[in-house]
Amino acid sequence: MARITTINPATEEKIETYALMSESEAIDRVDKCHAAFLQWRKLSHKERGAYLTRIAQTLRDNAGELAALMTRETGKLLKDGHTEVEICAAIFDYTAAHGPDALADEERVHGPGKKRGVVSYQPLGVIYSIQPWNFPLYQPVRVLAANLMTGNGCVLKHASICTGSGLRLRELCIEAGLPEDLFQVILIDHDTSDTLIAHPKVRGVTLTGSDGAGRHVGAVAARALKKTVLELGSNDAYLVLEDADIETAVKFSVIGRLYNNGETCVSAKRFIVTEKVYDAFVDAFVARMKDIKLGDPTDEDTQLGPLSSQDQFDTVKEQVEQSVAKGATILCGGQAPERKGAYYPATVLADLAPGMPAYDDEIFGPVASIIRASDDEDAMRLANESRYGLGGGIFCRDEEHALKLARDHFDTGMIRINSFGAADPNMPFGGVKDSGYGREHGGFGMKEFANAKAIFLP
């Protein structure tokens, strides 16, 4: 029988071993979720919201345990784990508070006689959620909260390295009163996953992962005529324009590159710096990155923990080495310490060009790419050259100028001006181009897997 073993990336110690489910076991979970959905859909939005509010409180009540578990499984800083739990609780609270209005029937008129029409947002059924390891709680929660409010059931296939976090989330939801079969967590291989996508009781599929994974899942779902929402990572550009405040730019660039050990889809990854401020920014940025304390993720003063696994360490190391072999310059870091664990230092690369991983691809780790631009217009052009378009940022003293660039020219889904942040329950989350399609948060996620039903009255 195939098994999953989770490993602490900081200590290399085994945490737990789990047996994979057979195809029939996984299908049984889908069937049970569908049966629970048939009852759940009968509840009002307000009644569903009460369950979400209780889940939020249960997460807060177990924040210490959840943060410690996520740190053991993925190496994220313990303090970041506490932040993640609170974000998840806030998402449940936001959805409970705003869901009833967002999903309420809409009165419209139709026809020459302006007859009465109603748009009703009805649930679809079982939503299959395929999620990555970098935010073991947040990734499944942002799908779960929205779809529970819509009236759907949810089946989660989590990344294997954070299996314990996915299972514990389900336990806590049930502890908070959620019907036991409405939220399922399944442990399966990729072939079984493809089978589930095509299962008639799975009505929608959402994935967060690489663009390669998105192409595969999107194609399998398309063959089965299933709607998908895909969030596929990025190579987010942060522009340091000619009138940027360097202190602000450096502060948020360091935070933006290293948050969650650099393993965030909306991390600041490419720093496109105009010629006028290039030297000032790079000197200050490199100095800050050199001072970052790499260490035990459970220590309060640690600023950068290990990567999530040895496989992830090997991937980041290879991407840096390939970039250097093609002409990139290491300004700091780039050399892993001699110690146990998947530790990789804060690294800055310069002299980058197309064809290098550090220029073209997403590096999911604490590696910053510095790209020189001649002026503001050139910086915007370079930012938009990427095949990705999830997030991005602009450092510029003239906020109205930055707003115009963000609104009218930046070809990406989310833009931060003179700041950095990962997600907010009240703002849409998602991207364009190879970063995928669909939106979560801000009320948008509640309608992604809803049947917008048009009802015409005489």
What values do phi and psi take at 371, rounded to 5?
A: -125, 130
Catalytic residue among 73, 231, 362, 448: 231
Same topology, domains 3-233+434-456 and 237-424? Answer is no
Q: Is 414 in contact with 431 (CB distance < 8 Å)?
A: yes
| 3-233+434-456: CATH, from 3.40.605.10, 3.40.50.11260, 3.40.50.300, 3.90.1150.50 | 3.40.605.10
pLDDT for res 366: 98
CA count, 13 A, side-chain hemisphere, 345: 20
231 catalytically annotated: yes
| DSSP helix/strand/coil, 16 | strand
pLDDT for res 1: 73
pLDDT for res 256: 98
Q: Give the 3-state DSSP-derived string for 225-260, with helices as H, strands as E and coil as C.
A: CCEEEEECCCCCEEEECCCCCHHHHHHHHHHHHHHH
The whole-angstrom separation of Cα 407 and Cα 415 is: 9
pLDDT for res 60: 98
Q: Name 123's Cβ contacts closer than 8 Å, sequence gap at least 6.
A: 37, 41, 147, 150, 151, 152, 449, 450, 451
The whole-angstrom separation of Cα 305 and Cα 337 is: 12
Catalytic residue among 162, 265, 332, 396: 265
> Residue 331: which H helix or E strand, with range?
strand 329-332
Q: Is 271 in contact with 371 (CB distance < 8 Å)?
A: yes
Structure letter (DSSP) for residue 336: -
Where do the domains of the chain lie?
A: 3-233+434-456, 237-424
Strand pairing category for 237-240 and 227-231: unpaired
| Region class of 56: left (phi > 0), else alpha (psi between -120 and 50), else beta | alpha
Q: How many residues are present in the chain?
A: 458
| Region class of 239: left (phi > 0), else alpha (psi between -120 and 50), else beta | beta
265 catalytically annotated: yes
First vs last C-alpha separation in the chain: 60
> Residue 146: which H helix or E strand, with range?
helix 138-150
Q: If you classify domain 237-424 with CATH, what class do you get?
A: alpha beta
- What is each CA distance from 276 to 17, 240, 242, 244, 375, in whole angstroms? 55, 10, 6, 10, 8
> Residue 90: which H helix or E strand, with range?
helix 78-102
pLDDT per residue of the chain (458 residues) written in tens, 0 to 9: 799 999 999 999 999 999 999 999 999 999 999 999 999 999 999 999 999 999 999 999 999 999 999 999 999 999 999 999 999 999 999 999 999 999 999 999 999 989 999 999 999 999 999 999 999 999 999 999 999 999 999 999 999 999 999 999 999 999 999 999 999 999 999 999 999 999 999 999 999 999 999 999 999 999 999 999 999 989 999 999 999 999 999 999 999 999 999 999 999 999 999 999 999 999 999 999 999 999 999 999 999 999 999 999 999 999 999 999 999 999 999 999 999 999 999 999 999 999 999 999 999 999 999 999 999 999 999 999 999 999 999 999 999 999 999 999 999 999 999 999 999 999 999 999 999 999 999 999 999 999 999 999 99
Q: Name 113's Cβ contacts closer than 8 Å, sequence gap at least 6.
A: none
